[in-house]
Amino acid sequence: KVYTLPGTGGDTVMQGLDSLAERCKKYYSEGARFAKWRSPFVVDMSSGRPTDLAIKSSMSDLARYALICQSEGLMPIVEPDVSLSGNHTLEDAVLVNTKILAELFKQMIDHGVYLPGATLKSNIINPGKDCSISYTVDEIAKANVSVLEQTFPVAMKTANYLSGGQSLKDATARLSAINRCNKRGPWNLSFSWSAALQLPLLELCRGKGELQLDAMRKLYIEELTIASAASKGEWNGKEGDGCHEGAGKKRKLGDDGR
């Protein structure tokens, strides 16, 4: 359940840790072997969101959830999710995401979470969808790899990005560029997408009155083929795919990805 955190101007935290151990024990007995906890954030640089209080509270809860899951035999997926909404720049997104991920992994270590037994599912770091500055897909990829190199423990083997409102063409282009840009990190950088894969399938059925199963099956295989190639840095979409088109003049990132 999402709960608005008082004194933060609208930041939220997730509730549900009470009796989580008993629920995990039940789920394990019924065949579950992993779980996921999502902690959403909205960026508003003018009001200082997300606040330090919201970040620390949410990441502490995420770490405690992970520890409880592992104590009951479940592999925890930790999901800090920074929304695409807003007009923040890519540089702003780098600062916010670095702070969130650094706090998450600190809390996981402090709580005693076994890092190789957990998985990260996070957003691809992007400028806000209303950002007026344009960025190339390679600039976005460089920013993402920079944040991973600063924060992501090598003990964790994989990060699987959520789509978070991105189209499939943008998500795959950015994931492929991130993998090409990642020269030093030992991680598997892949995808955990739902809407980006599902919405095009549902669009095939619009106005048809019934599921278009043959067409949906064909498109789904095509989508997964593209996503698989992107997870290995081997997908090359059309020119402009994965770029952020803003209304203002493009500003290049610095060498540090900020």
Q: Cis check for the bond before 50: say yes or no (omega within 30 of 0).
A: yes
> Annotated catalytic, 103?
no
- Of 72, 121, 142, 223, which residue is the catalytic one? 121
Nearest-CA neighbor of 177 among 223, 219, 229, 221? Answer: 229
Q: What are the φ/ψ torsions at residue 76 (nearest 5 degrees)?
A: -85, 135
What lies within 8 Å, CB to CB, of 201 at 6+ separation is 216, 219, 220, 223
> Annotated catalytic, 26?
no
Reading the block at residue 194, the tokens are 């739902």
- Of 79, 103, 139, 223, which residue is the catalytic one? 79
Helix, strand, coil percentages, rounded to 5, for the chain: 45, 15, 40
Angle formed by the axes of helices 137-151 and 168-181, nearest 10°: 60
How many CB atoms sit inside 10 A of residue 245's CB?
10
Longest distance between any two alpha carbons in the chain, whole Å: 56
Residues involved in catalysis: 79, 121
